[in-house]
Amino acid sequence: MNYLDGLNVKQKEAALHDKGPILVIAGAGTGKTKVLTSRIANLIDTEKANPYEILAITFTNKAAKEMKTRISALLHTEVDRMWVGTFHSICVRILRKYISVLGYNNNFTIYDTTDQKNLIKKVIKEMAVDPKRFPPNQIKSNISRLKNAEISPDEYISKNYSIYDRRTIGEIYGKYEKELRRNNALDFDDLLIKALDCLRKDDSIAAYYREKFKYILVDEYQDTNNIQYQLVKYLAKRKNAPSNLFVVGDDDQSIYGWRGADIGNILNFEKDFENSKLIRLERNYRSTSTILDAANAVIKNNVNRKGKELYTEDNKGNLITIMKNNNEKEEAYNIAHVISHETNKSDVDYSDFAILYRTNSQSRALEEGLIKLGIPYKIVGGLKFYGRKEIKDIMAYIILLQNPTDDINFLRVINTPTRKIGLKSVASIQQYADENSCSLFEACYNLDDIQLPKAAHNGVSDFVKIVELLMVKKDACEITELINAVYEDTGLKKMFEADETIEGLSRIDNIEEFFSAVTDFEEMNADHSLDSFLTHVSLLSDIDRTKEVDIDVVTLLTIHSAKGLEFSTVFIAGLEDGLFPSIRSSDEDNQDDKLEEERRLFYVATTRAKKNLYLSYAEDRMTFGRHTPGIKSRYLDEIPSEYLDNSLEEEKSNSNPWTGKSHFTSSLKTSYSKPTYSKIAYSKNNCTKAKVKDTFTRDENISLTVGDKVLHKAWGEGTIVSLNGEGEKQKATIAFNNKGIKTLITALAPIKKI
């Protein structure tokens, strides 16, 4: 039984568990995959089950493939007949055999995200609904949410009939479902839902799979949503026999609540399955004891958890380094300098380093810091900053203003946002341009000679007027004002703000970061011309492309993308309240739950590090082209001081890191003084730029009542409209003169009474 070799006492206990339900709480780096594969190998080797009598569910195809490979290697035999796969792939196998009970043909089509959006667009068009009021992306998100909550179109319409927008969403949802059925098609949510419907509708189907799968194993159980939970519970319910359900997970790593995962599934396992056994895997094989002790200290502040204490038999290792930075540019520079210093002095590779961040928009400054020092890198789980769609869209407009003969960028923006200019109309413009040897934009001045439908004709005419007006502004405005005009006048801002999905919110974050990049450029370069800015960006992009092929590179990724990975040295950037934890966690009604999930995300981030961990924050961070104060993340204060090295937080030199004159000392205790910045206010009417000295001082013990006038660091004057909560949890709703209504946590907000 060599598959048991190397297992510790708790791992072996889990792998050898015989009958009945069992929950294995597997902390980060405790070898859960080894336990899963060893258990399956034991079941097969001891003839408790044949391979085809075992169902193992994972969350990625890669994990499923690795599991099969490991089991095959342990038993020295093929295990192709074993059902190992994702929830979706397992459900497809069930549906291909039994979906006819639901009135579908077995040769159903699976619609991907693009197919779904195209179908929703078709439905919206046929219903004569305004796509701006009901954006397809938002409708798709709503339909998914309703499906997973098992709310039918008729039920949703009935409950919301008096509210036009909600009723219309329900009607779109209903017609979308009818169209799917007419096309004999399922979307990704349907794969799970329809499989569950099959089991519920026909008892013989449920009985068949319950008898077939004598043992069921589920990985990453903390990430299951309601439908996945129902599927597992339904399949594991065996008649006159114990439920041989084996689930592995870590409640402290439940970080996908925003996409439907329910931490209650793992917390309530022992209630859901009687006579279940609980085993905790707490010995960590990845990180030093210092990193683990710090992570344990933070996560203990969560209330909703099973509880465990990670430990290691390795040495304590290095202290965790706190990096205090004046701004995001200095943060990027300091991180890059540490990496450069360590790779030069030690026998380490770039691939030993990872930089983690809360949102994709943070990568821009970090990329530029690495580029400045010639450090190769790659981004995991996202495009490089200037390659993202929303950035390419706005850049395409800017490039077209500078070079109207650029047909490539013309084609990108002619119908973005939509102007009812279809592909046939674009082809007609292209044909005219080819016949008259002119650019596509120039061809648009001759619409009377091009046969276009009325709607397309008007759309092209409006597009030309917008571009012409922006060309005038280009010669009169600063770059920041021009780009702001491009963002608003073209309709891009309205388009992006209408998309309230997670993806849409991320795009807004990236646009805000883009404005910060423009302001950075203006502050750091004497030549503020548009041509200079475009050259600057194109050079960054060229460096990106040349580094893409490198193997030995620093990894940049969001914390969500880092789950399951490990690196020798990890930097966590942007540890400021409002960024990490996210400001959105403060605006939700269930604020405590959101903050606990953010803390779990911090726990996941820290436990990616094997040897060295750097926690970084900035006192000033550019957001949407404005400097805003950064308040050190509350999670840093939850780490006992005995685990921290504050030397990079406490010591400052007198040099500006972006002049190129400063250097990093061998002790790595050099930091940098804060450059003098000014807030920049822009007038939309006359393109003037006014500089105001940044003398703002926040009220530390502010006491507010409804009707008070306040001054915000970035948003100016406002009036308190309402107050909710007390103490550190008090939230103020403030109507700002020029920025609309905002809800802020008074203990954290950069405001003072006036």
Q: Is 487 helix (H, G, I), strand (E, B) or coil?
A: helix
The three-point CA angle 687-690-692 to 5° equals 155
CB atoms within 10 A of CB 642: 10
Distance CA 480, CA 467 (A): 17
Q: Which of 364, 412, 594, 608 is the catalytic position? A: 608
Q: Which helix (H) or strand (E) holds 609?
A: strand 609-618
How many Cα atoms occupy the beta-carbon half-sphere of 236 within 13 Å?
Answer: 27
What the block records as the tokens of 658 is: 């972006």
Q: Which of 10, 11, 32, 324 is the catalytic position? A: 32
Q: Which of 33, 501, 719, 733 is the catalytic position? A: 33
Whether 86 is catalytic is: no
Sign of CA dihedral 446, 448, 451, 452: positive
CB-based contacts of 738: which residues, under 8 Å, 6+ apart?
A: 715, 716
**532 neighbors 332 (Cβ within 8 angstroms):** no
Smallest Cα–Cα separation from 99: which of 175, 162, 191? 191
Smallest Cα–Cα separation from 149: which of 259, 234, 227? 227
State the first-to-last Cα distance of the chain, in angstroms, to the nearest integer. Answer: 75
Distance CA 156, CA 169 (A): 9
Quickly list H helices, 21-129.
32-45, 61-75, 87-98, 113-126
Residue 681 phi, psi dihedral angles, 5° rounding: -110, 135
Residue 752 phi, psi dihedral angles, 5° rounding: -145, 150
Distance CA 179, CA 127 (A): 13
Residue 142 phi, psi dihedral angles, 5° rounding: -65, -45
Distance CA 571, CA 325 (A): 13
Distance CA 197, CA 620 (A): 53
Q: Which of 219, 330, 390, 597 is the catalytic position? A: 219
Distance CA 342, CA 335 (A): 11
Whether 171 is catalytic is: no
Distance CA 652, CA 658 (A): 15
- Percent composition of the chain: helix, strand, coil (DSSP 3-state, to 5): 50, 15, 35
Whether 253 is catalytic is: yes
Q: What is the DSSP string of 541-557?
A: HHHHHHHTT-SS-EEEE
Whether 219 is catalytic is: yes
**600 neighbors 253 (Cβ within 8 angstroms):** yes
Q: Which of 58, 86, 222, 253 is the catalytic position? A: 253
The three-point CA angle 702-714-334 to 5° equals 100
CB atoms within 10 A of CB 77: 12
Distance CA 482, CA 704 (A): 38
Q: What is the DSSP string of 208-228?
A: HHHHH-SEEEESSGGG--HHH
Q: Which of 220, 282, 544, 649 is the catalytic position? A: 220
Tell me how far apart the 2 most distant CA atoms of the chain are, in Å: 82
Distance CA 628, CA 619 (A): 8
Q: Hey, what amino acid is at 390? A: E
CB-based contacts of 143: which residues, under 8 Å, 6+ apart?
A: 120, 172, 173, 176, 189
Distance CA 643, CA 606 (A): 13
Tell me which residues are annotated as active site: 32-33, 219-220, 253, 608
